[in-house]
Amino acid sequence: MSRQLKQGLYREYLSRKEDLAVVRGKIDMPGSIKHRLARKRVLTCEYDELSENNLLNQILKTTVMLLLQHAKVDAEHKNDLKKEMLFFSNVDTIDPTTVRWSAVRFQRNNNTYRMLISLCQLILEGMLMTTQDGEYKLASFVDEQRMSRLYEKFILEYYIKECPQAKATASQIPWALDDGIGTYLPLMQSDITLSQGNRVLIIDAKYYTHTMQTQYNVHTLHSANLYQIFTYVKNRDSEFGDQPHQVSGMLLYAKTDELIQPDNTYQMSGNQISVKTLDLNQEFSEIAKQLNEIVAEHFS
Protein backbone atom coordinates (compact mmCIF):
# COMPACT_ATOMS: atom_id res chain seq x y z
CA MET A 1 0.00 0.00 0.00
CA SER A 2 2.91 2.35 0.67
CA ARG A 3 3.81 2.21 -3.02
CA GLN A 4 0.28 3.27 -3.95
CA LEU A 5 0.39 6.13 -1.46
CA LYS A 6 3.58 7.42 -3.08
CA GLN A 7 1.74 7.49 -6.41
CA GLY A 8 -1.28 9.13 -4.79
CA LEU A 9 -4.77 7.89 -4.00
CA TYR A 10 -7.04 7.34 -6.96
CA ARG A 11 -9.66 10.06 -7.32
CA GLU A 12 -12.79 10.15 -9.45
CA TYR A 13 -15.64 12.57 -10.03
CA LEU A 14 -18.58 12.07 -7.67
CA SER A 15 -21.93 13.89 -7.78
CA ARG A 16 -22.62 16.25 -4.87
CA LYS A 17 -25.65 18.27 -3.80
CA GLU A 18 -25.05 21.13 -1.39
CA ASP A 19 -26.55 24.43 -0.21
CA LEU A 20 -24.16 27.22 -1.20
CA ALA A 21 -24.03 31.01 -1.15
CA VAL A 22 -22.68 31.08 -4.72
CA VAL A 23 -23.53 29.03 -7.78
CA ARG A 24 -21.48 25.89 -8.37
CA GLY A 25 -22.37 23.43 -11.10
CA LYS A 26 -26.08 23.50 -11.87
CA ILE A 27 -28.87 24.87 -9.68
CA ASP A 28 -31.36 22.43 -8.19
CA MET A 29 -34.57 24.43 -8.64
CA PRO A 30 -36.89 22.68 -6.11
CA GLY A 31 -34.32 23.02 -3.32
CA SER A 32 -33.44 26.60 -4.23
CA ILE A 33 -37.11 27.66 -4.35
CA LYS A 34 -37.65 26.12 -0.93
CA HIS A 35 -34.78 28.18 0.48
CA ARG A 36 -36.10 31.30 -1.25
CA LEU A 37 -39.51 30.89 0.36
CA ALA A 38 -37.81 30.48 3.72
CA ARG A 39 -35.86 33.70 3.02
CA LYS A 40 -32.55 31.87 3.12
CA ARG A 41 -29.88 33.40 0.92
CA VAL A 42 -28.50 30.11 -0.37
CA LEU A 43 -28.87 28.01 -3.51
CA THR A 44 -29.07 24.25 -3.75
CA CYS A 45 -26.43 23.23 -6.28
CA GLU A 46 -25.50 19.94 -7.92
CA TYR A 47 -21.91 19.54 -9.05
CA ASP A 48 -19.21 16.94 -9.70
CA GLU A 49 -16.22 16.86 -7.38
CA LEU A 50 -12.93 15.03 -7.82
CA SER A 51 -12.72 12.93 -4.66
CA GLU A 52 -10.70 10.11 -3.12
CA ASN A 53 -13.85 8.95 -1.28
CA ASN A 54 -14.66 6.32 -3.91
CA LEU A 55 -15.30 2.58 -3.82
CA LEU A 56 -11.70 1.45 -4.33
CA ASN A 57 -10.35 3.53 -1.45
CA GLN A 58 -13.34 2.62 0.71
CA ILE A 59 -12.56 -1.08 0.19
CA LEU A 60 -8.92 -0.50 1.18
CA LYS A 61 -9.81 1.44 4.32
CA THR A 62 -12.51 -1.03 5.39
CA THR A 63 -10.11 -3.96 5.02
CA VAL A 64 -7.34 -2.22 6.96
CA MET A 65 -9.69 -1.27 9.80
CA LEU A 66 -10.66 -4.95 10.16
CA LEU A 67 -7.01 -6.03 10.08
CA LEU A 68 -6.23 -3.58 12.88
CA GLN A 69 -8.70 -5.49 15.07
CA HIS A 70 -7.25 -8.91 14.24
CA ALA A 71 -5.14 -10.51 16.96
CA LYS A 72 -2.79 -12.27 14.53
CA VAL A 73 -1.59 -9.08 12.85
CA ASP A 74 1.61 -8.17 14.67
CA ALA A 75 2.12 -4.81 16.33
CA GLU A 76 4.71 -3.57 13.83
CA HIS A 77 2.38 -4.10 10.88
CA LYS A 78 -0.49 -2.50 12.78
CA ASN A 79 1.62 0.60 13.41
CA ASP A 80 2.46 0.85 9.70
CA LEU A 81 -1.20 0.47 8.76
CA LYS A 82 -2.25 3.16 11.23
CA LYS A 83 0.24 5.60 9.70
CA GLU A 84 -1.03 4.82 6.21
CA MET A 85 -4.62 5.36 7.30
CA LEU A 86 -3.80 9.03 7.93
CA PHE A 87 -3.95 9.46 4.15
CA PHE A 88 -7.50 8.04 4.18
CA SER A 89 -9.00 10.62 6.55
CA ASN A 90 -11.47 11.77 3.88
CA VAL A 91 -12.44 8.22 2.92
CA ASP A 92 -15.46 6.45 4.44
CA THR A 93 -15.60 2.84 5.58
CA ILE A 94 -18.39 0.70 4.14
CA ASP A 95 -20.34 -2.42 5.01
CA PRO A 96 -18.01 -5.12 3.60
CA THR A 97 -20.91 -7.45 2.78
CA THR A 98 -22.34 -4.93 0.31
CA VAL A 99 -19.29 -4.89 -1.98
CA ARG A 100 -20.18 -6.26 -5.43
CA TRP A 101 -16.78 -7.50 -6.54
CA SER A 102 -18.01 -8.25 -10.06
CA ALA A 103 -18.90 -4.56 -10.44
CA VAL A 104 -15.42 -3.31 -9.55
CA ARG A 105 -13.86 -1.96 -12.72
CA PHE A 106 -10.29 -1.02 -13.51
CA GLN A 107 -9.02 1.34 -16.16
CA ARG A 108 -5.83 3.20 -16.96
CA ASN A 109 -6.09 5.66 -14.06
CA ASN A 110 -6.67 3.04 -11.35
CA ASN A 111 -4.99 -0.07 -12.75
CA THR A 112 -2.37 0.10 -9.99
CA TYR A 113 -5.14 -0.89 -7.55
CA ARG A 114 -5.73 -4.32 -9.09
CA MET A 115 -3.33 -6.14 -6.78
CA LEU A 116 -4.46 -4.33 -3.63
CA ILE A 117 -8.14 -4.92 -4.32
CA SER A 118 -7.50 -8.62 -4.98
CA LEU A 119 -5.83 -8.89 -1.58
CA CYS A 120 -8.79 -7.10 0.00
CA GLN A 121 -11.17 -9.50 -1.69
CA LEU A 122 -9.14 -12.44 -0.42
CA ILE A 123 -9.41 -11.11 3.13
CA LEU A 124 -13.03 -9.95 3.09
CA GLU A 125 -14.54 -12.85 1.16
CA GLY A 126 -12.44 -15.51 2.79
CA MET A 127 -12.32 -14.41 6.42
CA LEU A 128 -15.24 -12.09 7.14
CA MET A 129 -17.67 -13.18 9.83
CA THR A 130 -20.37 -11.45 11.89
CA THR A 131 -20.40 -11.33 15.68
CA GLN A 132 -23.54 -11.77 17.78
CA ASP A 133 -23.99 -8.01 18.16
CA GLY A 134 -23.87 -7.51 14.39
CA GLU A 135 -20.31 -6.22 14.12
CA TYR A 136 -17.75 -7.64 11.71
CA LYS A 137 -14.47 -9.35 12.46
CA LEU A 138 -12.03 -11.59 10.61
CA ALA A 139 -11.93 -15.31 11.19
CA SER A 140 -8.65 -17.10 11.81
CA PHE A 141 -9.25 -19.62 9.02
CA VAL A 142 -10.69 -19.81 5.50
CA ASP A 143 -12.47 -22.74 3.86
CA GLU A 144 -10.27 -24.49 1.30
CA GLN A 145 -12.53 -24.08 -1.74
CA ARG A 146 -12.90 -20.33 -1.36
CA MET A 147 -9.23 -19.90 -0.56
CA SER A 148 -8.35 -21.83 -3.70
CA ARG A 149 -10.29 -19.40 -5.90
CA LEU A 150 -8.73 -16.40 -4.20
CA TYR A 151 -5.25 -17.94 -4.46
CA GLU A 152 -5.70 -18.29 -8.23
CA LYS A 153 -6.89 -14.70 -8.55
CA PHE A 154 -4.06 -13.37 -6.41
CA ILE A 155 -1.41 -14.92 -8.66
CA LEU A 156 -3.15 -13.76 -11.84
CA GLU A 157 -3.52 -10.18 -10.61
CA TYR A 158 0.10 -10.10 -9.47
CA TYR A 159 1.34 -11.07 -12.91
CA ILE A 160 -1.01 -8.64 -14.66
CA LYS A 161 0.39 -5.78 -12.60
CA GLU A 162 4.00 -6.78 -11.99
CA CYS A 163 4.98 -8.77 -15.07
CA PRO A 164 5.30 -6.43 -18.07
CA GLN A 165 7.62 -8.80 -19.96
CA ALA A 166 4.85 -11.39 -20.40
CA LYS A 167 1.12 -11.04 -20.98
CA ALA A 168 -0.94 -12.56 -18.16
CA THR A 169 -4.46 -13.84 -18.82
CA ALA A 170 -6.87 -16.53 -17.64
CA SER A 171 -7.48 -17.74 -21.16
CA GLN A 172 -9.43 -20.69 -22.48
CA ILE A 173 -7.61 -23.35 -24.45
CA PRO A 174 -9.37 -24.86 -27.48
CA TRP A 175 -9.37 -28.61 -27.97
CA ALA A 176 -7.14 -29.84 -30.80
CA LEU A 177 -9.91 -31.64 -32.68
CA ASP A 178 -9.21 -33.57 -35.88
CA ASP A 179 -12.77 -33.29 -37.22
CA GLY A 180 -13.91 -30.12 -35.42
CA ILE A 181 -16.63 -31.94 -33.47
CA GLY A 182 -16.43 -31.06 -29.77
CA THR A 183 -19.95 -31.81 -28.52
CA TYR A 184 -20.05 -32.28 -24.72
CA LEU A 185 -16.35 -31.55 -24.29
CA PRO A 186 -15.72 -29.41 -21.19
CA LEU A 187 -14.08 -26.00 -21.40
CA MET A 188 -10.37 -25.89 -20.73
CA GLN A 189 -10.05 -22.77 -18.58
CA SER A 190 -6.54 -21.94 -17.45
CA ASP A 191 -5.91 -20.23 -14.12
CA ILE A 192 -2.97 -18.20 -15.41
CA THR A 193 -1.44 -18.16 -18.88
CA LEU A 194 1.77 -16.18 -19.36
CA SER A 195 2.81 -15.54 -22.95
CA GLN A 196 5.64 -13.76 -24.71
CA GLY A 197 5.49 -14.19 -28.45
CA ASN A 198 5.53 -17.93 -29.12
CA ARG A 199 6.64 -18.80 -25.59
CA VAL A 200 3.82 -19.81 -23.25
CA LEU A 201 3.64 -20.91 -19.63
CA ILE A 202 0.33 -22.30 -18.35
CA ILE A 203 0.07 -22.21 -14.55
CA ASP A 204 -2.51 -24.23 -12.66
CA ALA A 205 -2.70 -22.79 -9.13
CA LYS A 206 -3.65 -25.29 -6.42
CA TYR A 207 -4.51 -24.56 -2.79
CA TYR A 208 -4.80 -27.86 -0.92
CA THR A 209 -4.41 -28.97 2.66
CA HIS A 210 -2.13 -31.73 1.32
CA THR A 211 0.07 -31.05 -1.69
CA MET A 212 0.71 -34.76 -2.29
CA GLN A 213 -1.56 -37.79 -2.42
CA THR A 214 -0.67 -40.82 -0.33
CA GLN A 215 -1.47 -44.49 -0.85
CA TYR A 216 0.14 -47.32 1.11
CA ASN A 217 2.50 -44.73 2.60
CA VAL A 218 3.77 -43.78 -0.86
CA HIS A 219 3.64 -40.07 -1.77
CA THR A 220 2.83 -39.08 -5.35
CA LEU A 221 1.56 -36.01 -7.14
CA HIS A 222 -2.20 -35.57 -7.44
CA SER A 223 -2.87 -37.54 -10.60
CA ALA A 224 -5.90 -35.49 -11.72
CA ASN A 225 -3.86 -32.27 -11.47
CA LEU A 226 -1.05 -33.71 -13.56
CA TYR A 227 -3.43 -35.07 -16.21
CA GLN A 228 -5.12 -31.67 -16.39
CA ILE A 229 -2.00 -29.56 -16.88
CA PHE A 230 -0.61 -32.05 -19.41
CA THR A 231 -3.85 -31.83 -21.41
CA TYR A 232 -3.79 -28.03 -21.32
CA VAL A 233 -0.19 -27.91 -22.52
CA LYS A 234 -0.56 -30.40 -25.37
CA ASN A 235 -3.70 -28.75 -26.74
CA ARG A 236 -2.14 -25.28 -26.52
CA ASP A 237 1.03 -26.63 -28.13
CA SER A 238 -0.91 -27.91 -31.13
CA GLU A 239 -2.13 -24.38 -31.96
CA PHE A 240 1.34 -23.35 -33.12
CA GLY A 241 1.61 -26.05 -35.76
CA ASP A 242 5.02 -25.92 -37.45
CA GLN A 243 5.97 -22.50 -36.03
CA PRO A 244 8.93 -22.37 -33.63
CA HIS A 245 7.44 -22.24 -30.14
CA GLN A 246 7.74 -23.33 -26.53
CA VAL A 247 4.76 -24.28 -24.36
CA SER A 248 5.32 -25.29 -20.75
CA GLY A 249 3.06 -26.08 -17.83
CA MET A 250 3.32 -25.67 -14.08
CA LEU A 251 1.36 -26.90 -11.09
CA LEU A 252 1.87 -24.22 -8.44
CA TYR A 253 0.76 -25.40 -5.01
CA ALA A 254 0.46 -23.19 -1.96
CA LYS A 255 3.16 -24.49 0.37
CA THR A 256 1.99 -26.39 3.45
CA ASP A 257 3.84 -27.45 6.60
CA GLU A 258 4.21 -31.03 5.36
CA LEU A 259 7.68 -32.57 5.25
CA ILE A 260 7.49 -33.52 1.57
CA GLN A 261 7.06 -30.56 -0.79
CA PRO A 262 7.12 -31.10 -4.57
CA ASP A 263 9.83 -29.34 -6.55
CA ASN A 264 10.18 -31.25 -9.78
CA THR A 265 10.56 -30.64 -13.50
CA TYR A 266 9.62 -33.23 -16.10
CA GLN A 267 10.12 -33.39 -19.86
CA MET A 268 6.95 -34.93 -21.27
CA SER A 269 6.42 -35.58 -24.97
CA GLY A 270 8.38 -32.49 -25.99
CA ASN A 271 7.08 -30.13 -23.28
CA GLN A 272 8.29 -29.12 -19.83
CA ILE A 273 5.91 -29.75 -16.93
CA SER A 274 7.04 -28.52 -13.52
CA VAL A 275 5.56 -28.83 -10.05
CA LYS A 276 6.45 -26.09 -7.56
CA THR A 277 5.23 -24.61 -4.29
CA LEU A 278 4.64 -20.98 -3.36
CA ASP A 279 5.41 -20.12 0.26
CA LEU A 280 2.73 -17.64 1.36
CA ASN A 281 3.90 -17.56 4.97
CA GLN A 282 6.39 -14.78 4.28
CA GLU A 283 6.63 -11.05 3.79
CA PHE A 284 5.01 -9.92 0.55
CA SER A 285 8.40 -8.99 -0.92
CA GLU A 286 9.50 -12.62 -0.57
CA ILE A 287 6.28 -13.91 -2.14
CA ALA A 288 6.84 -11.52 -5.04
CA LYS A 289 10.42 -12.77 -5.38
CA GLN A 290 9.20 -16.35 -5.80
CA LEU A 291 6.69 -15.33 -8.46
CA ASN A 292 9.27 -13.23 -10.29
CA GLU A 293 11.71 -16.15 -10.34
CA ILE A 294 9.12 -18.25 -12.19
CA VAL A 295 8.89 -15.60 -14.92
CA ALA A 296 12.67 -15.19 -15.11
CA GLU A 297 13.14 -18.94 -15.49
CA HIS A 298 10.72 -19.22 -18.41
CA PHE A 299 11.05 -15.90 -20.24
CA SER A 300 14.61 -14.64 -19.73
For the segment 160-200, what is each residue's pLDDT rounded down to a tens digit? Answer: 988 889 999 999 999 999 998 999 999 999 999 999 999 99
Q: Where are the alpha helices (DSSP H) in 132-266?
A: 144-162, 223-238
In a domain, 253, yes or no: yes
For the segment 212-250, what is each residue's pLDDT rounded down to a tens digit? Answer: 888 888 889 999 999 999 999 999 999 999 999 999 999
* Contacts with 256 (C-beta within 8 Å, 6 or more apart), sequence order: 208, 209, 210, 211
Q: Are residues 102 and 212 in the same domain?
A: no
Q: Are residues 293 and 165 in the same domain?
A: yes
Cβ 262 vs Cβ 236: under 8 Å: no
Q: Are residues 218 and 94 in the same domain?
A: no
Q: Are residues 57 and 45 in the same domain?
A: no
Distance CA 71, CA 257 (A): 22
Cβ 255 vs Cβ 279: under 8 Å: yes
In a domain, 146, yes or no: no
Q: Are residues 74 and 30 in the same domain?
A: no
In a domain, 147, yes or no: no
Q: Are residues 45 and 57 in the same domain?
A: no
Q: Are residues 44 and 62 in the same domain?
A: no
* Contacts with 187 (C-beta within 8 Å, 6 or more apart), sequence order: 172
Q: Are residues 104 and 216 in the same domain?
A: no
Which residues in the chain belong to E strands, given as ranges?
Answer: 12-20, 26-27, 43-51, 128-130, 136-138, 167-169, 192-196, 199-206, 213-215, 218-220, 246-254, 264-268, 271-278
**Residue 284 class from Cβ within 10 Å (0-12 exposed, 13-18 middle, 19+ buried)?**
exposed
Domain extent for 28: 12-51
Backbone φ and ψ for 280, nearest 5 degrees, come out as: -90, -10
Give pLDDT tens digits along the chain (300 positions). Answer: 777 888 889 998 888 788 877 777 778 778 877 877 888 888 888 878 888 999 999 999 999 998 888 777 788 888 989 999 999 999 999 988 888 988 888 888 888 888 888 888 877 876 665 555 556 555 555 566 777 888 898 899 899 988 889 999 999 999 999 998 999 999 999 999 999 999 999 999 998 888 888 888 888 999 999 999 999 999 999 999 999 999 999 999 999 888 888 999 999 999 999 999 999 888 888 999 999 999 999 998
Q: Are residues 290 and 207 in the same domain?
A: yes
Q: Are residues 130 and 47 in the same domain?
A: no
- H-helix or E-strand containing 66? helix 55-67
Q: Are residues 40 and 79 in the same domain?
A: no
Helices (H) and strands (E) in the chain, counts: 8, 13
In a domain, 154, yes or no: no
Global confidence as pTM: 0.69
CATH classification of the domain holding 198:
3.40.1350
Number of domains in the chain: 3
Query: What sign does the CA torsion over 83, 89, 91, 93 have?
Result: positive
What residues form DSSP beta bridges with 43? 20
Q: Are residues 180 and 113 in the same domain?
A: no
